[in-house]
Amino acid sequence: MRLIAIFFVLVLGFSSCKKGGSGAEDVDPREQYVGIYDIDYSSKTIIGSIDFNEDSGKGTVTVSKGDAANEIKLAIAFPGVSSTEVAKLSGTKFTLNRTRDQLALGNKSYDAEFTGSGLFEGKNMTITSVTKMNQNGTVVQWTRAYKGSKR
């Protein structure tokens, strides 16, 4: 009888323990993207139908977790330029949260529409953004492309 009681206590003890699972529900999907990416960038400004200005270079984008469960932060650093963007992550794709940007032409700065999105493919990242405005019937568009790999 005593042996049955001990067996019963052991069975109860084991059944009340939390069952170990794969832990997949505890994995933060953003974790795989966190890190520093070495980036080649290019940008082009078009005024009307004229290619006004082109630029290219190298820099880094540092990805970290954002405040919300589906947010990432992108710390962008290029020679003479640095900014931080917040993006909404959906699977391997992300969309930059802001919708406005400043477009500098000559010695003036103009408020303009902004869209930006990106994609993670393995260790590679691409980001494309467009700042666009209409100034007295002339469309001005500044397009930027970022492509690189995680260190």
DSSP string, 14-58: HHHSPPP---GGG--GGGGG-EEEEEEEEEEEEETTEEEEEEEEE
pLDDT tens track for 77-110: 999 889 999 999 999 999 999 999 999 888 999 9
Selecting from 3.40.50.300, 3.20.20.10, 2.40.128.20, 3.30.70.60, what CATH number does the domain 30-150 have? 2.40.128.20
Alpha-carbon distance 83 to 96, whole Å? 13
| Bridge partners of residue 57, in order along the sequence | 41
pLDDT in tens, 18-72: 455 555 567 899 999 999 999 999 999 999 999 888 999 999 999 999 999 999 9
Whole-structure pTM value = 0.79
Question: pLDDT at position 104, please?
Answer: 87
Average pLDDT over residues 111-134: 97
How is the chain split into domains, by residue range?
30-150
